[in-house]
């Protein structure tokens, strides 16, 4: 028997007892005796007030539990000295009986039998729960109490949600670790996994009003705009017949589309999404808040499942604004969305990626530049739209407002409010307003850290939401919403969250838990695995990239793009011999695959086979002349001792791209080695103008010194050292210039610095 849960006794303050009560007392005494605790807990009086340093952490006072929820774990902290164990006492309004339990840990979970009794006796009336700390002599030394109730309103629905590893960068590197679960709150077990092991990213999901249709963002082939629309059944198949793409909206205009935060209409005929989008996306190693995501550009487009058409929604299609995060009213007559002025600057206008990283928009990462959203609503009008109006209480309030959700009866909207941005905001809180707008009221259910991703139950009485109140691994919570829009303290769904996954995007679905058991993927092709591997490469996770590529090769063993990609990823891990095998196979299938020639050249250089590398670079250039490949060829030729041929290769690189920093640097360095200092200077200055580097400044300093221009040489070499204080070559060159000028002491210091760096472990590497 678990010594923490040693028994229950039922006593009466009226001094009456029954045979059943006596049996329970004996059972409790025997249980405690078996644990070495003596003859059982003494019948302590119910405390009239708090004492000591005991604080009940969960549940909070006035928590309302759903009638079908399984037993929770009561938890508290107690800093009171002399506490040996605790008693849990429960009494109910209008009833003098007291339930008593004992535990040696600062937590207690009732058995399901006891919990059923507690719920039965607390329906629509208070159950007062007291935690009493007792000393070795069974005297009470600390106490605190809360009141709980059981609602007559069931949740009724099941919950579909996503589990993600943290930090989020690990999910980017290996999307197969993301999984989806579906289950109900009355189960003792964790909801079963219904979808997992997708090597490509799957993101936001939504259901039709009756739960008959599921929409799911999912990468498909070479298209990030892909979106799956599936009829819900016990066994579901995710295949290409069920996938559309938001990229089909005005495909010819050349603008990329992901299709963000899509939502299926209540009647399942339509899906609305943000398209022609662009968003800030930065993944960080911080496990608590490991990504920053918010759209800065996009319009709303509606897909008609009956007609197969994509149409911009008038009133939410102004390119001067970002219009995103749409949600439907339950009658399908209104769409509420988040809106802000579209963010533009010259450096990102030509960006080919929809997602912008920290290097693209450092102002949001380093300087925390504000970006706020307002909620607007627009009539749907069968896709004809109308005038968008700001929602009072959720717009122009100095905050960022997003993630609106209509109540099923159309009376309320609950939304998120934070200081800035969207999604994983630590200060995000839930507010409620009338559906047509009005005074915003903060929900009592808010926890101290991040409240978001909420969904109404189909009966309109419960809200599920995500929070990081207790752990970095986001948990799911419930709160009851009454007819006046008032909420109750949060109820944690402790069995829904594992110790290694964050639970997010929960959605109530008005179906029994057994209605959806398995979603099987049957759409993955070579491009799906190629995209998955490339996502790993972008984060430097080359082993993960190889795993994805090899899974793709199991499906398509002769796919040249996958063979080339796995060869490159193996080379990046220093496995050049294995890389050569994959790349040779790629070229055997397609001898004109210039990328495979380039990667085989790299692997050959690593293996010391310079003539082989030269041959592959020349093959690549014959297929597709590129400045960077001419530059690489020049590098190989120089190592082979063919200086004149190397200079010719560098010049051909510059013919194609006169501003190439690497080609200008290599040509300048090569000319300098040949004594052509004036020509070398010109190219080194061109390299610095395009891409300042410590190597270019060092080389320029040496060239200037050779021309007798000591002051200029010192300036350039000092710039090299400022860029990299551990540049031994720059310190040595500067020492030589200073020595020639008679600045002996300064020269000595620079030479000592150079020698120290040459001997350092870093230099040795």
Q: How many CB atoms lie within 10 A of CB 691?
A: 13
Closest CA to 320 of 352, 344, 354: 344
* Rounded Cα gap, residues 277 and 282, in angstroms: 16
Taking the CA atoms of residue 250, residue 252, residue 254 and residue 257 in that order, the dihedral angle to the nearest 10 degrees is 30
User: What pTM value is reported for the model?
Assistant: 0.73
Positive or negative, the Cα torsion across 746, 752, 753, 754? Answer: positive
Query: Which pLDDT tens digit goes with each residue over 103-129?
Result: 999 999 999 999 999 999 999 899 999
Task: Report residue 17's pLDDT band, with 50, 70 and 90 as the boundaries.
Answer: very low
pLDDT at 136 over 80: yes
C-alpha separations of 566 from 32, 541, 559, 576, 612 in Å: 63, 12, 11, 11, 20
Angstrom CA distances, 589 to 37, 561, 562, 564, 593, stand at: 77, 11, 12, 11, 9
Beta bridge partners of 159: 183, 508
Peptide bond into 235 cis (omega under 30): no
Q: Confidence band (pLDDT; 50, 70, 90) for 224? A: confident
Structure tokens at 546: 């190889």
Whether the predicted pLDDT of 8 surpasses 80: no
Distance CA 454, CA 470 (A): 18
pLDDT band at 221 (very low <50, low <70, confident <90, very high): low
Structure tokens at 724: 């990299």
How far apart are alpha carbons 321 and 267 in whole angstroms? 28
At 42 the pLDDT is 52
Site of tokens 């209605």: 515
Among candidate residues 369, 243, 363, 257, the one with its CA nearest the CA of residue 312: 257
Closest among 392, 490, 374 to 435, alpha carbons compared: 392
Alpha-carbon distance of 479 to 206, in angstroms, equals 21
**CA atoms of 607 and 626, how far apart (whole Å):** 24
**Are residues 497 and 475 in contact, defined by beta-carbon separation less than 8 angstroms?**
yes
- Per the CB < 8 A criterion, the answer to whether 719 and 693 are in contact is no
Gap between the Cα atoms of 638 and 630, Å rounded: 12
Q: Are 292 and 365 in contact (CB under 8 A)?
A: yes
Burial of 42 (0-12, 13-18, 19+ CB in 10 A): middle
E-only strand ranges, 93-135: 95-103, 107-108, 127-134
415: left (phi over 0), alpha (psi -120 to 50) or beta: beta
Run of H or E residues at 669: helix 661-673
**Confidence class of residue 14 from pLDDT cuts 50, 70 and 90?**
very low
- Tell me what percent of the residues of the chain surpass a pLDDT of 70: 92
Q: Mean pLDDT check: name the lowest of 14-23, 359-368, 497-506.
A: 14-23
Asked if the model's pLDDT at residue 758 lies above 90, the reply is: no
CA-closest candidate to residue 232, choices 464, 476, 512, 506:
512
What number of residues does the chain have? 765
Q: Which of 66-80, 250-264, 570-584, 597-611 has the lowest mean pLDDT?
A: 250-264
What residues does 200 pair with on adjacent strands? none
Domains within the chain, CATH numbers bracketed: 8-150 (2.60.40.10), 158-522 (2.120.10.30), 575-764 (1.25.40.10)
Place of tokens 């809360």: 146
How far from 698 is each of 706, 714, 733, CA to CA, in Å?
13, 10, 8
Sequence-ordered list of residues with C-beta below 8 angstroms from that of 681, at least 6 positions apart, any chain: 668, 700, 703, 704, 707
The structure tokens listed for 107 are: 């937590």
How confident is the model over 301-337, as pLDDT tens digits? 999 999 999 999 999 999 999 999 999 999 999 999 9
Share of the chain above pLDDT 90, in %: 71
For residue 27, what pLDDT band results from cuts at 50, 70 and 90? very low
Sequence-distant (≥ 6) Cβ neighbours of residue 754 within 8 angstroms: 728, 729, 731, 732, 735
pLDDT band at 220 (very low <50, low <70, confident <90, very high): low
Pairing of the two strands 389-390 and 374-379: antiparallel
Average pLDDT over residues 139-146: 95
pLDDT tens for 622-651 read 999 999 999 999 999 999 999 999 999 999
Sort strands 374-379 and 334-341 into parallel, antiparallel or unpaired.
Answer: antiparallel
Contacts of 241 (CB under 8 A, 6+ apart): none
Band of pLDDT at residue 146, cut at 50, 70 and 90: very high
Q: How would residue 68 be classed by pLDDT, with cut points 50, 70 and 90?
A: very high
- What does the pLDDT average to over 82-91? 95
415-431 pLDDT, tens digit per residue, is: 999 999 998 899 999 99
Query: Are the CB atoms for 145 and 62 separated by under 8 Å?
Result: no
Measured distance CA(280)–CA(291) in Å, rounded: 10
Highest mean pLDDT among 274-283, 393-402, 669-678: 393-402
Q: How far apart are CA 179 and CA 195, in angstroms?
A: 6
| 363 touches 385 (CB < 8 A) | no
First to last CA, the chain: 60
What's 406-431 look like in SS3?
A: ECCCCCEEEEEEECCCCCCCCCCEEE
Q: Is it the case that residue 41 has pLDDT exceeding 70?
A: no
DSSP conformation class of 620: H
The dihedral of CA 311, 313, 318, 324: what is its sign?
Answer: negative
- pLDDT for the residue numbered 459: 97
Q: What are phi and psi of 420, to 5 degrees?
A: -155, 165
Q: Would residue 211 be called left, alpha or beta, if left means φ above 0 and alpha means ψ between -120 and 50 degrees? A: left
Mean pLDDT computed over every residue of the chain: 88
pLDDT of residue 234: 96
**What is the separation of C-alpha 10 from the centre of its chain, rounded to a whole number of angstroms?**
49
Q: Are 508 and 456 in contact (CB under 8 A)?
A: yes
Comparing 528 with 5, the larger pLDDT belongs to 528
Contact 703, 677 (CB under 8 A): yes
Supply φ then ψ for residue 713, to 5 degrees: -65, -45
The residue whose two tokens read 């078996």 is 34
Mean pLDDT of 340-360: 85
């Amino acid at each position: 028997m678990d010594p923490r849960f040693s028994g229950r006794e039922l006593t009466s303050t009226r001094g009456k007892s029954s045979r059943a009560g006596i049996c329970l007392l004996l059972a409790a005494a025997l249980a405690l005796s078996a644990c070495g605790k003596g003859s059982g807990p003494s019948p302590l009086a119910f405390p009239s007030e708090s004492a000591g340093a005991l604080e009940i952490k969960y549940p909070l006072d006035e928590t309302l539990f759903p009638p079908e929820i399984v037993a929770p774990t009561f938890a508290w902290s107690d800093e009171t000295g002399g506490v040996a164990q605790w008693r849990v006492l429960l009494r109910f309004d209008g009833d003098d009986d007291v339930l008593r339990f004992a535990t040696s840990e600062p937590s207690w979970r009732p058995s399901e039998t006891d919990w059923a009794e507690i719920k039965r006796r607390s329906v629509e009336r208070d159950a007062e729960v007291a935690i009493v700390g007792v000393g070795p002599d069974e005297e009470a030394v600390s106490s605190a109490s809360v009141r709980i109730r059981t609602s007559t309103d069931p949740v009724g629905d099941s919950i579909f949600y996503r589990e993600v590893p943290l930090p989020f960068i690990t999910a980017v590197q290996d999307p197969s670790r993301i999984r989806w679960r579906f289950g109900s709150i009355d189960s003792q077990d964790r909801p079963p996994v219904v979808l997992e092991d997708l090597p490509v990213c799957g993101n936001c999901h939504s259901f039709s009003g009756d739960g008959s249709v599921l929409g799911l963002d999912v990468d498909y082939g070479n298209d990030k705009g892909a979106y799956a629309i599936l009829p819900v059944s016990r066994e579901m198949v995710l295949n290409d017949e069920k996938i559309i793409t938001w990229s089909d909206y005005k495909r010819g205009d050349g603008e990329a589309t992901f299709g963000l935060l899509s939502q299926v209409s209540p009647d399942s005929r339509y899906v609305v999404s943000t398209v022609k989008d662009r968003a800030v996306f930065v993944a960080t190693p911080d496990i608590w808040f490991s990504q920053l995501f918010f759209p800065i550009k996009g319009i709303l487009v509606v897909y008609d499942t009956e007609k197969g058409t994509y149409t911009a929604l008038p009133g939410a299609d102004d390119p001067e604004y970002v219009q995103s995060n749409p949600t439907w009213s339950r009658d399908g007559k209104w769409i509420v969305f988040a809106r802000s002025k579209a963010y533009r600057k010259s450096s990102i206008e030509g960006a080919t990626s929809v997602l912008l990283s920290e290097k693209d928009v450092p102002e949001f990462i380093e300087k925390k530049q504000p970006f706020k959203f307002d909620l607007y609503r627009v009539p749907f009008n069968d896709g004809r739209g109308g005038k968008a109006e700001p929602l009072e209480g959720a717009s122009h309030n100095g905050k960022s407002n997003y993630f609106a959700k209509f109540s099923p009866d159309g009376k309320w909207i609950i939304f998120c409010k934070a200081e800035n941005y969207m999604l994983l905001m630590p200060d995000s809180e839930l507010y409620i307003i009338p559906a047509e707008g009005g005074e915003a009221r903060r929900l009592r259910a808010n926890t101290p850290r991040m409240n978001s991703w909420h969904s109404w139950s189909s009966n309109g009485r419960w809200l599920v939401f995500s929070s990081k109140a207790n752990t970095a691994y986001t948990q799911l919570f419930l709160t009851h919403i009454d007819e006046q829009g008032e909420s109750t303290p949060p109820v944690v769904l402790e069995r829904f969250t594992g110790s290694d996954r964050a639970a997010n995007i929960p959605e109530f679905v008005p179906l029994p838990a057994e209605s959806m058991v398995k979603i099987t993927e049957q759409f993955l092709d070579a491009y799906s695995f190629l995209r998955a591997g490339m996502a790993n490469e972008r984060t430097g996770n080359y082993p993960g990239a190889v795993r994805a590529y090899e899974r793709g090769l199991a499906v398509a063993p002769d796919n040249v793009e996958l063979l080339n990609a796995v060869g490159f990823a193996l080379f990046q891990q220093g496995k050049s011999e294995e890389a050569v095998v994959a790349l040779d196979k790629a070229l055997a299938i397609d001898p004109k695959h210039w990328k495979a020639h380039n990667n085989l050249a790299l692997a050959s250089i690593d293996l010391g086979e310079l003539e082989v590398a030269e041959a592959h670079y020349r093959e690549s250039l014959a297929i597709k002349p590129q400045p960077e490949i001419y530059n690489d060829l020049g590098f190989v030729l120089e190592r082979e001792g063919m200086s004149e041929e190397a200079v010719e290769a560098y010049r051909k690189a510059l013919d194609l791209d006169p501003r190439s920093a690497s080609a200008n640097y290599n040509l300048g360095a090569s000319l300098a080695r040949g004594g052509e200092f004036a020509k070398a200077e010109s190219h080194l200055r061109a390299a610095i103008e395009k891409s300042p580097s410590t190597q270019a400044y060092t080389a320029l300093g040496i060239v200037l010194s050779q021309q007798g221009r000591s002051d200029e040489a010192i300036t350039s070499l000092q710039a090299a050292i400022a860029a990299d204080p551990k540049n031994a070559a720059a310190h040595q060159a500067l020492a030589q210039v200073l020595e020639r000028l008679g600045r002996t002491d300064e020269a000595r210091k620079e030479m000592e610095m150079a020698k120290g760096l040459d001997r350092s472990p870093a230099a040795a590497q």
